[in-house]
Structures are given as structure tokens and as C-alpha cells.
Structure 1
Amino acid sequence: MLQWFLVPFAYLLGSLSSAVIVSRLLQLPDPREEGSKNPGATNVLRLGGKKAAVITLLGDMFKGLIPLLVAKGLDAPVEILAAAGVAAFLGHLYPVFFGFRGGKGVATALGVLLGYSWVTGTAVLVTWLVVAYFSRMSSLSALIAAALAPVYVGWWLGGLPLVSATVLMSALLIWRHRENIARIRRGEESRIGR
């Protein structure tokens, strides 16, 4: 029963907006108000440079990874792992500490998938990197990696709880990118390094 406390813990940890915290500490503009108005690493990169973006990316990733590592350390059943992963992801999307205005969830989802298994997380990361290399679009890379994430989890891990949790996260991540999808279709999406 105690292990179920991992789920609210994961949500609260996920609710710590790395982009907002890093921007405040480095005296950068609020990423919810400037740039793309998305509190994520890509917008922090635009507003504050590489150092701020890397710190934001790692913060977002670790808040997805840490609850899963704690759950595994407590020998929590797979249902708890799945629920904690989704909770951390939802915390990032809808953070209670920041007016429920969160990011798109790419790095946090990666952290969750690394927590499930380093193989699935690495497969998603490699997919993102390959698509980014050829397309120069962060959003397209995230969309394709998200679409393939449930396939990777199903292939290497299986099990309804983890696959279902990954499908839910991927669907929400893709939905959060709906404006990016529209810009990609119009040929207006910004590219990495431009």
C-alpha cells in the first residue's frame, strides 16, 4: 500500500517546472511568456542559450526517471511503475506549482522510458537524434519518437500496464504538439540551428 504513495510523489516531482526554475535562477525571461511560450528546453535554448537549455533538459528528464528508480528500488509492481511514470509526465504537462501551465513532455517522457528500461529509453533517444539530424526539426523528431515509443516498449518489455502507459503519454505528447504539426504541414516549422 505504501508503494502507491509513489504516484502522488511522481506527480509532485513532475510538477517542478525545470524551465521556469532555471530561467528564474539565471534571470532569463519567463519561458511561459516569451518565445514559443512553452516551458521546455527548446524554448529555453532560444531565450537563454545552450547552458540553460541543457540544465532544463536534464531537470525534465530526471523528474521522469527518479520516481521510476525509486519504485524499482522498492520492488514496486509493474502497475505502480506505469502509474508513477504517467503521473510524473502529467505533472510536467499540468504542474500544480505553476498554474497547470506545463511543457510538452518530451524530456520527461524520455526519463520515464529510461526508468522502464535503458533499452527502450535509448531506442527513443536514438530515434529522436536520427530524425533531428536529417530533418533539423526538434518537434518532428519528438513526434516520430513518441509514435514509436509504444512499439519499443511492447517489443522489449511487453505487458499491458507499461504499453498502455506509453500509449497514453505518446498520445498526449502528440496532442501537445498540434500547433507544431500544423506548422510542419505548412512548411513553417523552425529548424534546429536556425
Structure 2
Amino acid sequence: MAWTLPVILCTIGATVVAYLLGSCNFAIIITKLFANDDIRNHGSGNAGLTNVLRTLGKGPALLTLIGDFSKGILSVILVRLLLHYIAGVNDFYVADYIVAIAALLGHNFPLYYGFRGGKGILVSFGAVMILSPIAGTICFIGFLLAVIFTKYVSFGSIVACILFPITTQLFYYLKTSTFSLTQLILALCISALIIFMHRSNISRLLHGKESKLSFKRK
């Protein structure tokens, strides 16, 4: 993809929108609507799906899942539409990753909520399912198996993050017979940021203090 002026402007515009869209943290929004409270004041203090499930139950958790998952999807679709219809470009993958990272940053550090957000698994998964559906499916299977066997959502998230750069490079190679250093770096940025946001979970896992998945409200 040649970085012409229309491509640059479309990518910048989509990146800004993706960050602002990512900043719409549905764990915070749904908790405000259902309980007139801030999810960050409860449970683990994280503005994410698992804390909503533990605090408010399955209904609010499902709405949170749909909202945060959709942010990643919409961000990538937006940049593709802009590049296709305005810049006349059909090679998207670098811009795709840029807006995916922007949406992730918005979710983790939301402009509207004092830059205290969630950890980014759902919004990233939504973006990944557009970036590389097969790789995203493999990452989800890895996540699911890890959670089933350990009951730790955080561990499953870390497993998925480790699989993501590997699977994207594998399928890129199968498609083009080459590796992409740019794609690898961008994929690693997504995975590294999510793993960094799970640093407290990693500490609790290592010390045997991490909470296991439960569908019962506390």
C-alpha cells in the first residue's frame, strides 16, 4: 500500500475515530445503566466483561460483550471503507492494525472515563476477526481451552495473545510465501499491550491468588 496523501488522511481520520469509539467502555456504560454505579468500584476494579459478569450477572455481561466486541469490528470496517471509497485502495492490512491498536488504546485508556478502562481482549478480538478470521478463531479456541482447563479467564487471554502473532504470521506466509516484519511488529504491539494490562493478573496467577471463573454473582 502506497502512503499517498488520501491514504494518510483516511488512516489518520479512522485512527482518531477508532480511539474515540474504543473509549466508549461498555462495562462502565452498562453498569451505569443497570446499577447507577461505576464497575471500577466493584470486584477486581477492572472495567471489563469478567468483572461485570461477577458483579451484575449474565444479562449485563452479554450486553458488555456485544458492545466491546463490536468496537473492534467497526473500527477496522471503517478504515477499509474510507480507504476503498475515498483513497481507492484495497490493500488494508497496515491501516487495519493501526486502527485496531487505536481502538485498543481507547478501551484501555478511555478519554471519557479518566483514562481508566479495561484490558482490551474483547475489542481486540473483534478487530482480529476482521483482520484474520482463521487466526482469530484459533486464538479463541486457545483461549477457550485454557479457560476450560484452568478456570482462569486471564490465563486464557494471555494464551490467546501469545498465539496471535504466531498464527497471523503463519497464515500470511501460507498466503504469500513470505513473512511480514511490519505485520509481526504490529501484532506483537497488540499482544504486548494486552499482556501488560494483565500484569496484576499475572502476579496473582504466580502467587495462586487469581479468582477463577464463576457464573455466580458476588
TM-score by length of 1: 0.94
SS in 2 for 1:26: helix
What is the alpha-carbon distance in structure 2 between the residues aligned to residue 48 and residue 10 of structure 1? 28
Deviations 1:41-100, CA, capped at 9 Å, x for gaps: 000011100111111112111101111122233435322111111101111011111110
> 8 Å contact 1:16–1:97 — kept in the other structure?
yes
Q: Equivalent residue for 2:117? A: 102
Unaligned regions of 5+ residues in structure 2, if any? 1-5, 173-178
Sequence identity of aligned pairs in percent?
35
Asked if 1:46 corresponds to 2:42, the answer is: no
Q: How much does 1:115 deviate?
A: 1.8
Q: Equivalent residue for 1:66? A: 74
Q: Equivalent residue for 1:56? A: 64
Deviations 1:20-45, CA, capped at 9 Å, x for gaps: 11111112531111111100000001
> 8 Å contact 1:3–1:80 — kept in the other structure?
no
> 8 Å contact 2:93–2:131 — kept in the other structure?
no
What is the alpha-carbon distance in structure 2 between the residues aligned to residue 31 and residue 120 of structure 1? 32
What is the alpha-carbon distance in structure 2 between the residues aligned to residue 182 and residue 3 of structure 1? 40
> 8 Å contact 1:114–1:122 — kept in the other structure?
yes
- Which of 10, 15, 38 is the matching residue for 1:3? 10
Q: Equivalent residue for 1:86? A: 101
Q: How much does 1:132 deviate?
A: 0.6
What is the alpha-carbon distance in structure 2 between the residues aligned to residue 11 and residue 108 of structure 1? 11
> 8 Å contact 1:94–1:102 — kept in the other structure?
yes
> 8 Å contact 1:82–1:161 — kept in the other structure?
no
Larger radius of gyration: 2
TM-score by length of 2: 0.84
Matching of residues 1-194 of structure 1 within 5 Å: 1=6, 2-4=9-11, 5-27=13-35, 29-74=37-82, 75=84, 77-157=92-172, 159-193=180-214
The RMSD of aligned alpha carbons is 1.5
What is the alpha-carbon distance in structure 2 between the residues aligned to residue 9 and residue 165 of structure 1? 19
Unaligned regions of 5+ residues in structure 1, if any? none
What is the alpha-carbon distance in structure 1 between the residues aligned to residue 146 and residue 94 of structure 2? 32
What is the alpha-carbon distance in structure 2 between the residues aligned to residue 122 and residue 31 of structure 1? 29
SS in 2 for 1:32: helix
What is the alpha-carbon distance in structure 2 between the residues aligned to residue 97 and residue 119 of structure 1? 33
User: For residue 24 of structure 2, what is the amino acid of its counterpart?
Assistant: L
